[in-house]
């Protein structure tokens, strides 16, 4: 069985990446909102290809801001973002975003919503619908192609948001607290489905969450951010076994220790 590092370097060669194996590099990112809100201070970070990286921290630590800067939806005040070694300004085809509030077009069917990224690229209707149908099936929404978003539950809407991001075939998925608007049961099911999906899709995922359990359960790498201004507190690699069932993972000692350790690190910011 290859180690995680070996698989990273192999994937890096295949994707023609810098020797670090990082598909995304965050360099000296500083962000001010207006003159006095200091959201991020000199953040440096590498996102390894093919892995799940989570930004975790209390509210006000700038995790969503950092994600939106990587997405190109926000301009950093200083610093730069490199994707596959190339500095980027603005969104690009190698990154796809999954929104916290789903951001689905209420007047469009599930099929058109999932195909929307391809529609913007002016792909032909038959081609984009074929791709969309494939991803609708992958996220478990077959049979709902002609429904409108208001006819779906919160969890199903986010599956549409995920299918839309998968459909454009970007290498990096950026997910902004995607499960925060759905209930706990749906959330757990969604996390399991996401992990299963990623073993098939082989994406690099950057995931923002405020849930410690979610971060430890999903991540290869957890970036712990501290607030005001947002800085990297520490980077944790939980090394969770993936060959056992989800319920066993949630009872695993390693899993529970990491949850506890992160909680001890974060609680001082609450006092």
Interface with other proteins by CB under 8 A: which residues?
71-73, 91-93, 95-97, 99, 101, 103, 105-108, 116-117, 119-121, 148-151, 168
Q: How far is the CB of 65 from other proteins (least distance, A)?
A: 13
Q: How far is the CB of 169 from other proteins (least distance, A)?
A: 12
Measured from the CB atom, the residue of 97 and 207 that comes closer to other proteins is 97
Q: How far is the CB of 105 from other proteins (least distance, A)?
A: 7
Q: Which of 219, 224, 215 is nearest to 180 (CA)?
A: 215
Euclidean distance between CA atoms 38 and 28, whole angstroms: 14
* Token code pair at residue 155: 């969890």
Measured from the CB atom, the residue of 95 and 187 that comes closer to other proteins is 95
Measured from the CB atom, the residue of 32 and 99 that comes closer to other proteins is 99
Q: What angle do CA 191, 62, 203 make, to 5 degrees?
A: 35
Measured from the CB atom, the residue of 103 and 195 that comes closer to other proteins is 103
Instruction: Using CB atoms within 10 Å of the CB of residue 268, give its burial: 0 to 12 exposed, 13 to 18 middle, 19+ buried.
Output: exposed
Euclidean distance between CA atoms 137 and 224, whole angstroms: 34
Q: How far is the CB of 91 from other proteins (least distance, A)?
A: 5
Assess contact for 110 and 128: CB atoms under 8 A: no
């Amino acid at each position: 069985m290859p180690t995680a590092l070996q698989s990273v370097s192999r994937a890096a060669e295949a994707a023609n990446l810098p020797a670090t194996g990082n598909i995304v590099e965050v360099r000296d990112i500083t962000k001010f909102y207006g003159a006095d809100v200091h959201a991020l201070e000199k953040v440096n970070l590498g996102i390894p290809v093919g892995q799940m990286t989570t930004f975790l921290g209390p509210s006000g630590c700038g995790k969503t801001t950092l994600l939106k800067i990587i997405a190109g939806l926000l301009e950093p005040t200083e610093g730069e973002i490199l994707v596959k070694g190339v500095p980027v300004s603005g969104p690009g085809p190698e990154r796809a975003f999954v929104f916290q509030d789903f951001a689905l077009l209420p007047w469009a069917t599930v099929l058109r919503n999932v195909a929307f990224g391809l529609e913007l690229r002016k792909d032909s209707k038959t081609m984009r619908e074929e791709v969309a149908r494939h991803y609708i099936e992958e996220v478990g929404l077959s049979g709902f192609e002609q429904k409108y978003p208001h006819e779906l539950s919160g969890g199903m809407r986010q599956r549409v948001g995920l299918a839309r991001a998968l459909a454009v075939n970007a290498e990096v998925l950026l997910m902004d607290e995607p499960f925060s608007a759905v209930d706990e049961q749906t959330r757990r099911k969604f996390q399991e489905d996401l992990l299963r999906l990623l073993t098939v899709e082989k994406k690099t995922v950057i995931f923002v969450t405020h849930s410690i359990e979610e971060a430890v359960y999903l991540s290869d790498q957890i970036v712990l951010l501290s607030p005001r201004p947002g800085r990297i507190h520490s980077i944790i690699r939980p090394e969770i076994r993936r060959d056992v069932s989800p319920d066993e993972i949630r009872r695993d000692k390693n899993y529970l220790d990491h949850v506890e350790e992160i909680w001890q690190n974060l609680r001082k910011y609450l006092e």
